[in-house]
Amino acid sequence: MWKEFREFAVKGNMIDLAIGIIIGAAFGKVITSFVNDVLMPPIGLLLGKVDFNNLYVNLSGEHYTSMAEASKAGAPILKYGIFLNTVIDFIIVAFVIFIIIKQLNRFKKKAAATEPATKECPFCLSNIPIKASRCPSCTSDLEC
């Protein structure tokens, strides 16, 4: 059983999966930084100098001047600003992945389309399937 597991783990699929997860995690950090540090500050400025990371709803009924103060006091709060940032992160990552997969599928279609499906019979010059070993028109034997 250990031998089978080792063969499975060393195969390219497992290594490719691990590399994909590592790159995906790094990509997620880049997108999070982009949203928090580049995208949201101008949006917050346009909406009246709003910092989305500090948007919250206090559920305790007491008054707190900031989210940090409410968190320190242990008050139950809904951090909807951080949630908005996370949703925007997700939308950007999903869109980029969609674009990448769309491009990969387009390249695969081009590669499949370039392979000919037919060949020409050298004896009668009719089009025949690429895998044919005998011409259906003149019944000549074809070299494979």
pLDDT range class, residue 17, cuts 50, 70, 90: confident
Q: What is the pLDDT of residues 32-58, one digit of tens each?
A: 888 888 888 888 888 888 777 788 888
Q: Report whether 136 contacts 118 (CB < 8 A).
A: no
**83-94 confidence digits (pLDDT tens):** 988 888 888 888
Q: What is the mean pLDDT of residues 11-25?
A: 79
pLDDT on residue 140: 85
Q: What angle do helix axes 80-114 and 12-33 make, rounded to 10 degrees? A: 130
- Residue 12: predicted pLDDT: 62
**By percentage, how much of the chain surpasses pLDDT 70?**
93
Nearest by Cα to 76 from 95, 56, 58: 58
The tokens for 36 are 């928090």
Comparing 86-100, 107-121, 129-143, which segment has the lowest mean pLDDT? Answer: 107-121
All domains in the chain, ordered by first residue: 2-115 (1.10.1200.120)
For residues 67-79, b (16+ Cβ closer than 10 Å) or e, as one string?
beebeeeebebeb
Within 10 angstroms of residue 92's Cβ, the number of other Cβ atoms is 16
Q: What is the pLDDT of residues 89-109, one digit of tens each?
A: 888 888 888 888 888 888 877
Residue 50, amino acid: V
Is pLDDT at 81 greater than 70 in this prediction? Answer: yes
At residue 144, the pLDDT reads 59
Asked if residues 55 and 68 have their Cβ atoms less than 8 Å apart, the reply is no
pLDDT for the residue numbered 40: 82
